[in-house]
Amino acid sequence: MPPLYVVQQNAKLRLHNRRVQVEMEENGETRILTQIPIGQVSQIVLFGNIGLTTPLMDALLGEGIEVIFLSQQGEFRGVLSGELTPHVPLRRAQYRALENPAFVLQMAKALVRAKLEHQRALLQRHNRERGDPHIDEAAARLSDALISLPNKMNLNSLPGLEGSATAAYFGGFRRLFDPQWNFNARLRRPPPDGINVLLSLGYTLLGRLTTSAARTVGLDPYAGFLHEVEYNRPALGLDLLEEFRPVVDGLALWAAGSRAVTPPDFTPGDASRPVVMSEAAKKVFLRAFEERMERRFTHPVAGMQLTLRQCLIEQARQVAEAVTRGEAYYRSMGFR
């Protein structure tokens, strides 16, 4: 059963005839948004300022149905659950999976595949009318990497393949920007130009959401498969981020190409921050990021129209199901 996502701000959930009723108060009248039998709800995920009546909370606790509380932006805030929770056995399964080199390798390869496929799709889509042979070459190198990926027999060989493919990608990606941006390579510590500043900000925002998505489904966000486990590093959150990096890349392309953000919005700073983005440009980019997160897609596994923010959670749910079954599997969103 799919979870119930509620994103409408100021909505209220109550129990009505053993149904979860989502309603909204408007002009002194109550409008029912949806009703679902409580037996058909596996989990409730609330984004932002949404109310929950005490009778419904009591019923959900009795049925063992979790309620996940997220901020309106999708950051994890807490969980309401009964005495029994699936998180302990799920996390035990996750830790067991991390001890299985074959499982880790297959999951890592699936995550890399999803990222490379989406990077290639972005280059091909934006080069259809441009016809830049250098971008075509970058896309071809990504295709070669995808062909080579199944032949990688150990985890240590993946960073080399992913690194060379990513370098090829950014070699093509940078050609999509006007030369006035002076975007010559992906550099992040610190970002030396406006486009790198936008990418770093976008990846940071997205990484918080993917880390939150892992926590939402009950996984340990610090125990990943592709990224090495290190203290205070959300390795699984970073794993889930990889597939969605091209979403941020596309957003940077839109910002620069539409002139919603322009080079004068970035001014020289100090050694730690050589380029500083104006507050006005930051607001434009953040607003565009939030709008992108609300764009709807048909999730390939859930089979439902979901916002991109909700798709992050469903991708995390795939990982949870994989570790529970003990079968490494991860299907990408398939962006085109």
Residues 241 and 105 in one domain: yes
Distance CA 30, CA 257 (A): 44
**Residue 299 shares a structural domain with residue 261:** yes
Angle between helices 101-126 and 87-98 in degrees, nearest 10: 90
Dist. CA 311–CA 88, nearest whole Å: 24
The reply to whether 174 and 268 lie within a common domain is yes
Beta-carbon count within 10 A of 76 CB = 18
Per-residue pLDDT at 63: 85
Question: Which two structure tokens, joined as six digits, stand for 328?
Answer: 């490494």
- 24: CB partners within 8 A, 6+ apart: 8, 10, 11, 12, 30, 31, 33
Q: What six digits make up the tokens of 292?
A: 């992108």
User: For residue 335, is it within any domain?
Assistant: no
Tell whether 37 and 64 lie within a shared domain: yes
Q: Are 174 and 183 in contact (CB under 8 A)?
A: yes
Q: Give the N- to C-terminal CA distance of the chain in Å, as an integer.
A: 28
Same domain? 43 vs 139: no
The verdict on residue 33 lying in a domain is yes
Looking at the structure, do residues 287 and 216 belong to the same domain, yes or no? yes
The domain boundary, picked from 52, 85, 118, lies at 85
pLDDT, one tens digit for every residue, the chain (336 residues): 667 888 888 999 999 999 999 999 988 888 999 999 998 888 888 888 999 999 999 999 888 888 888 887 667 788 887 765 668 899 999 999 999 999 999 999 999 999 999 999 999 999 998 999 999 999 999 999 999 999 998 888 898 999 999 999 999 999 999 999 999 999 988 899 999 999 998 998 899 889 989 988 999 999 999 998 888 889 999 999 999 999 999 999 999 999 999 999 999 888 888 898 898 898 899 889 989 998 999 999 888 899 999 999 999 999 999 999 999 999 999 876
CB neighbours of 233 closer than 8 A, spacing ≥ 6? 222, 227
Residue 332 covered by a domain: no
CATH number of the domain that 195 lies in?
Answer: 1.20.120.920
Q: Kindly state whether residues 229 and 294 are assigned to the same domain.
A: yes
Query: Which residues fall within 8 angstroms of residue 22, CB to CB, at 6 or more apart?
Result: 4, 6, 8, 11, 12, 13, 32, 33, 34, 35
Q: Pick from 205, 170, 174: which is nearest to 282 by CA? A: 205
Which single residue is written with the structure tokens 């920007």?
Answer: 177
Q: What is the CA radius of gyration of the chain?
A: 22
Sequence-separated contacts (24+) of 140-146 with Cβ below 8 Å: 141/165, 141/168, 142/116, 142/168, 142/169, 145/116, 146/113, 146/116, 146/117, 146/120
ω into 179 cis (within 30 of 0): no
Give a yes or no: residue 25 inside a domain. Answer: yes
Say whether both 218 and 320 belong to one domain: yes
Q: Are residues 112 and 183 in the same domain?
A: yes
Spatial contact of 237 and 227, defined as CB atoms under 8 Å apart: no
Which residue range is the domain that position 291 belongs to?
Answer: 90-325
Q: Is residue 108 part of a domain?
A: yes
Q: What is the pLDDT of residue 333?
A: 92
Which residues, other chains included, contact 58 with Cβ-Cβ below 8 Å and sequence gap of 6+?
Answer: none
What are the backbone dihedrals phi and psi of residue 127, each rounded to the nearest 5 degrees, phi first?
-105, 0
**9 and 141 housed in the same domain:** no
Tokens 């085109």 correspond to 336
Please check whether residue 336 lies inside any domain of the structure.
Answer: no
Q: What is the CATH number of the domain that holds 35?
A: 3.100.10.20
Q: Is residue 334 part of a domain?
A: no
For residues 151 and 25, membership in a common domain is answered with: no
Closest-CA residue to 136 (of 146, 122, 123):
123
> How many structural domains comprise the chain?
2
Residue 180 lies in a domain: yes
How far is Cα 93 from Cα 181, in angstroms, rounded to an integer? 47
Tell me what pLDDT residue 87 has. 83
